[in-house]
Amino acid sequence: MAEFADGDYDADSGLCNSFSIMFQFQGLQAFIASESTVGGAGGSGGSGGGGSVLQPYDQCVNDADRAALEVLATDDQGGIAVVSGLTGGCTQNECADQIGAAIAGGEDGRNALRDCIASCMSDQTGVSVACTSCYGSIAACSVGFCLAPCAADSGSEECIDCALENCIDVDACTGL
């Protein structure tokens, strides 16, 4: 064991007399699905929000989605950035009919918009609907809860803060 000693150097003998220990920690980002409250407690005489919704997690880390994202990647952007960039186009074009329902129709309207956006993005990229639904969910939630701050600039701090407060965490959802 003395040959492995690497600490407490003794200048007289020229040997080390103890072992040092180093711990190496590796982090693996993991997400656990949890229920989060959607809606609110209701005001005086109000009925409150719509209950709990199971939040999805790690939707894009399977082999098929990783391969599709790799194919989509360019020299300038990763595959997930390419997919994310399609959200607005799908929302404004293929899914424009569902926007009114998402604003007025509550959870069912938001779910219809989410599903439309997810299908549109999946059709354009080959990435699974489970993965693209992360982007559909955040877009539909933003339309339903954050229309005022997000309508002018979806990248504004107000829009992002509103989405973080009211919607799923898209990074947790994708797992990327």
- The pLDDT of residue 176 is 79
pLDDT at 15 over 80: yes
Q: With cut-offs at 50, 70 and 90, classify the pLDDT of residue 49.
A: very low
**0.75 surpassed by pTM:** no
Q: With cut-offs at 50, 70 and 90, classify the pLDDT of residue 34.
A: very low
- The pLDDT of residue 27 is 53
Q: How far apart are CA 175 and CA 138, in angstroms?
A: 14
- The pLDDT of residue 66 is 92
Q: With cut-offs at 50, 70 and 90, classify the pLDDT of residue 56.
A: low
